[in-house]
A and B are shown apart, each in its own frame.
Chain A
């Protein structure tokens, strides 16, 4: 167990160890969805929710099911099933009880199963030996950090589409990668404040 208080961990997960900008996780949906601010925020919200819950569930499954049974090598399969099942469950219940919310978030939910950031958060939590509370905080922080990054890039790209005239070949993914690189550089400035891990 690492010795770090909850507030520090939360801050670190959002800024200094941003799961997208320092660990490259969740890049595929990041590049394809970040065309505009609105959809970026929708996907971001869904990710925060799913990441927080699956981190908690996977923690319990890992420590109370896989470890006693000596099946830790199967964690990849088990985690991915937990995530897929949870996303399905959320989708069904949101559709049933909150139709308005489903209208906004519905199309993003299936995308989340294959978002590497979700599985990544669960795997990091095992490797760094977090406690249950730390895992939940880490999951929430990482989700918020991811949302922040995708929202910022979404806003920048929206502006770019309206005003900028880009050189040939730079449109689309290339410029997005360069913008992300600059953002990662900016987020590195936070790393002097806290060091975890």
Chain B
């Protein structure tokens, strides 16, 4: 087994070098849809970070007991259990947000990032580094989505976190609330990042 890098290195790699959205373009499915309001984005991100970190931890603890052949199924079940916890908690404490998020909380299960990190990192590493990796990748992911939301909400609704920040005469851009706005924003971010920080090692398949 290769030497495990220090927690800080893992954190930096997860946050920036292996940033799931900007670098690997993974797992944008379930979460991009909620980026038209900052509140929804924050709740969704919190749920995702929790699921990702806890799933990585659990997969890592069980890594020596899980038979190789059924590990995908085992990982899916672990992830799904944590997603159910997230779903119940959001429903209990934030019923309005839960209504707005609709099925997207459940779709964290099929978010490729969670499975991707379990498969790429947690199944070969001890629990603590796996947990750190999960948190770091989760935060890296959350930052990108917040960057998308911070543009979409002011331009689409004229508000940020529900407070009006645009001047009175501002006409909201409907396109920013709708789906195309999210595609454009994310496309532009990916373009900027790849322009200024070209990938040295091509890991894309």
Which of the segments A38-46, A115-123, A156-164 contacts the partner chain? A115-123
Option from A24, A31, A117, A172 in Cβ contact (under 8 Å) with B179 = A24
**In the bound complex, do residue A76 and residue B80 qualify as a contact, i.e. CB atoms below 8 Å apart?**
yes
Q: How does the 8 Å CB contact mask read for A155-197 relative to B, with 1 for contact and 0 for none?
A: 0000000000001111011111110111011001000000000
Give the residues in chain B near A116, CB-CB below 8 Å.
29-30, 107, 110-111
**In the bound complex, do residue B33 and residue A23 qualify as a contact, i.e. CB atoms below 8 Å apart?**
yes
Residue B81 interfacial (CB < 8 Å): yes
Minimum distance in angstroms from A118 CB to a CB of chain B: 8
B:99-136 near A, CB below 8 Å: 102-103, 106-107, 109-112, 115
**In the bound complex, do residue B106 and residue A119 qualify as a contact, i.e. CB atoms below 8 Å apart?**
yes
Give the residues in chain B near A174, CB-CB below 8 Å.
187-188, 190-191, 194
In the complex, number of A-B residue pairs with CB atoms less than 8 Å apart: 133
Minimum distance in angstroms from B54 CB to a CB of chain A: 15
Instruction: Known contacts A24-B33, A28-B29; decide if A120 and B103 are in contact (CB<8 Å).
Output: yes
**In the bound complex, do residue B76 and residue A80 qualify as a contact, i.e. CB atoms below 8 Å apart?**
yes
A172 to B205, CA, bound (A): 11
Q: Is the interface of B mostly helix, strand, loop or mixed?
A: helix
A40 to B183, CA, bound (A): 20
A185 to B178, CA, bound (A): 9
**In the bound complex, do residue B190 and residue A123 qualify as a contact, i.e. CB atoms below 8 Å apart?**
no
Chain A residue total in the interface (Cβ 8 A): 46
Minimum distance in angstroms from A139 CB to a CB of chain B: 14
Option from B102, B107, B183 in Cβ contact (under 8 Å) with A184 = B183
**In the bound complex, do residue A188 and residue B110 qualify as a contact, i.e. CB atoms below 8 Å apart?**
no
**In the bound complex, do residue B180 and residue A185 qualify as a contact, i.e. CB atoms below 8 Å apart?**
yes
**In the bound complex, do residue A181 and residue B87 qualify as a contact, i.e. CB atoms below 8 Å apart?**
no
Give the residues in chain B near A31, CB-CB below 8 Å.
25
20 inter-chain pairs at a CB distance below 8 angstroms, sorted by A residue, are A22-B179, A24-B30, A27-B29, A28-B29, A32-B205, A73-B88, A75-B106, A114-B112, A116-B29, A117-B29, A126-B103, A169-B194, A170-B194, A174-B188, A174-B190, A174-B191, A178-B184, A181-B184, A184-B178, A185-B175
